[in-house]
Structure 1
């Protein structure tokens, strides 16, 4: 199953250094049967993209925590790690596309890394500041969140990760 693991640049650095990534709470997103049923139409590729977007939104929550701890030392970019795993279990109690991983994911199972580009940083920082308010329905916060989500995540092959991190 292809899963989308919400991450931060800090987590990408750990993946590069340790050769594995531990999803926060072992939580990831995927095209689950419940997610498929929640959409009236859509190809598998479109629905996989929807799962990745949910992971990117979860990445904002992770960033909000990192920024609260170190506002100037954290690179405000959403990150998502795509991986192909066999041992993910469905978590419909949390949301349609949520899965639980059995543990850390080795780099050998990582298919790609998705990361915001530099031009998204101001919008991502602003969205991380208001993600909770957006979830609670604040229209101004939702607008700010939309500004960040208007930025597409760039795609990088797993082999590019060391070079990507070096350039950040």
Structure 2
């Protein structure tokens, strides 16, 4: 099953160093039966894109929880989503339509692509990470800020490009 794992640039660096990515609490997003039922229409590609966007929003939550003083390296504020093909996925419709739980870590061989914001999105990412909790609680102003960051498309990278991408950051 294709899953979309929310991450940060720091998590990507660790992934390249270790050769495996452990999603936070095993949480990822995918085109689940519950997600398909939640939409009146939509192709498989459109619904997978919706799951990727859910993962990108979860990446904002990871960024908002990050405490910069805990790290010597200041990572650029960018949404990161790792697309991977894995088995042993359990749907979690009790959390949300697209949420799944992974049984274990993801290896580089599992990765289909990595999606990362361009530098131009950094200010919008910072603003959205600051209001993600308020948006989750229904604040219309915070939702507007999230709309600004979601106007930035995530760039696509092949797994073998990751070391070069990280070197350029």
Normalising by structure 2, report the TM-score.
0.96
Q: Which residue of 1 aligns with 2:110?
A: 109
Q: CA shift at 1:73, angstroms?
A: 2.0
Q: CA shift at 1:127, angstroms?
A: 0.3
Distance in 2 (alpha carbons) for counterparts of 1:87 and 1:13: 25
Aligned with 1:75: secondary structure?
coil
Aligned-residue CA RMSD (Å):
1.4
Question: Are 2:89 and 1:73 aligned?
Answer: no
Q: CA shift at 1:75, angstroms?
A: 1.4
Q: How many residues align?
A: 168
1:101-140 Cα offsets, whole Å, 9 max, x none, are 0011111101100000000000000000000001111111
1:11-69 Cα offsets, whole Å, 9 max, x none, are 10011100110000000000001100110111000000000000000000000111565
Q: Which residue of 1 aligns with 2:20?
A: 20
Distance in 2 (alpha carbons) for counterparts of 1:53 and 1:67: 24
Q: Which residue of 1 aligns with 2:150?
A: 149
CA spacing shift, 1:69–1:96, aligned 2, 3 Å: farther
Normalising by structure 1, report the TM-score.
0.96
Q: Which residue of 2 aligns with 1:57?
A: 57
8 A contact 1:27–1:98 mirrored in 2: yes
Distance in 2 (alpha carbons) for counterparts of 1:156 and 1:119: 17
CA spacing shift, 1:70–1:121, aligned 2, 3 Å: farther
Which 5+ residue runs of structure 2 have no aligned equivalent?
Answer: none
Q: CA shift at 1:8, angstroms?
A: 0.3
Which 5+ residue runs of structure 1 have no aligned equivalent?
Answer: none
Question: Are 2:139 and 1:138 aligned?
Answer: yes
8 A contact 2:83–2:114 mirrored in 1: yes
Question: Are 2:40 and 1:40 aligned?
Answer: yes
Distance in 1 (alpha carbons) for counterparts of 2:69 and 2:34: 35
